[in-house]
Each structure stands twice: as structure tokens, then as C-alpha cells.
Amino acid sequence: MTRTRSLLRSPEPLLEEHSRLWKLVERCRSTLHETNVRSEYLNSLFRRLLEQLLNHFSHEEEHGYFSDLIEEAPQLESTVEELYRQHPRMVELIVRISNEMENREPGEERRCRLTSIYDEFYHLFKRHEAEETLLLQNAFNSDLGGHD
């Protein structure tokens, strides 16, 4: 049995990782919109998000989540490559937020910049994760279809 088939039959580790990442993404989003949040706390949330995001992308790119999938379903390679190309932009946006957090400038203007950057990240991330879900569904269907 290949690792892809194992992943498709037992996707719990991947699903747990996605769940943890989504919870942190949502927590950052809600905290960013709070009015009396300490900058240090918000900064620590975004540092954690960056760390988890890099970890997540590493698992996808380097640790076989999608490379094994391509072995099993080569027709999905272009979709996987497109997903990989989205990773640097999402990382760049979170790094921009972290850099902006180091700027101690108080006020609504700063909050608006942070919110704008995060909203771009959030929508890209949401679309990216939906595309990943569709990719895994297609791979699963391919895997099942191969056993008829």
C-alpha cells in the first residue's frame, strides 16, 4: 500500500493539522478585530501562525503529502503545482503583518493596514484550502476508481 493510499484511507493526521491551523487562522482574525488587544499578544499569535503555516506547507511540499498523491494520480500534478505556487504569497503576507507589528505606531491607521493585509491572507488561505480539499477528493475518487 502506498503512502497516498494510506493518507486517503487514514487522513486523520492531515485533518488534525488542518483543524489546528484553521483554528489559529480564525483566532488571529477575531483577535485582530478586537479593540483592546495588546500588541504583544497579537504579535505572538501571528508568530505562531507563521510557524504553523510554514510547518503545514513543509508537510505538503517536502514530506510526501502531495508528492505521493501525484505518483498515484499524475493528472493532478498541475493542480498541486498551482497550490505550491500560492504558498510564498501567504507566507509573505503573514511576514508583512509581523513586520507591521514591530512598528509600534498606535492608532486606527495601523489597525486598518493590519486588517487589510490579513483579509488578503485570509481570503487566499480560504480559497487555497478549498482547492486542497477538492484535490484530495479527486485523488480519493481516482484511488477508488483504480480498484473497480
Instruction: Give yes or no for a contact between 8 and 73, defined as CB atoms under 8 angstroms apart.
Output: no
> Which comes out higher in pLDDT, residue 93 or 105?
93
Mind listing the pLDDT tens digit for each residue in 31-79?
A: 988 878 888 898 899 999 999 999 989 888 876 677 777 777 788 889 8
* For residue 147, pLDDT beyond 80: no
The whole-number pLDDT of residue 24 equals 97
Cell of 103: 512598528
Answering whether pTM is above 0.85, one says: no
Mind listing the pLDDT tens digit for each residue in 14-26?
A: 778 889 999 999 9
Long-range contacts of 98-103 (CB under 8 A, 24+ apart): 98/43, 98/46, 98/47, 98/50, 101/39, 101/42, 101/43, 101/46, 102/43
Whole-angstrom distance, CA of residue 84 vs CA of residue 89: 10
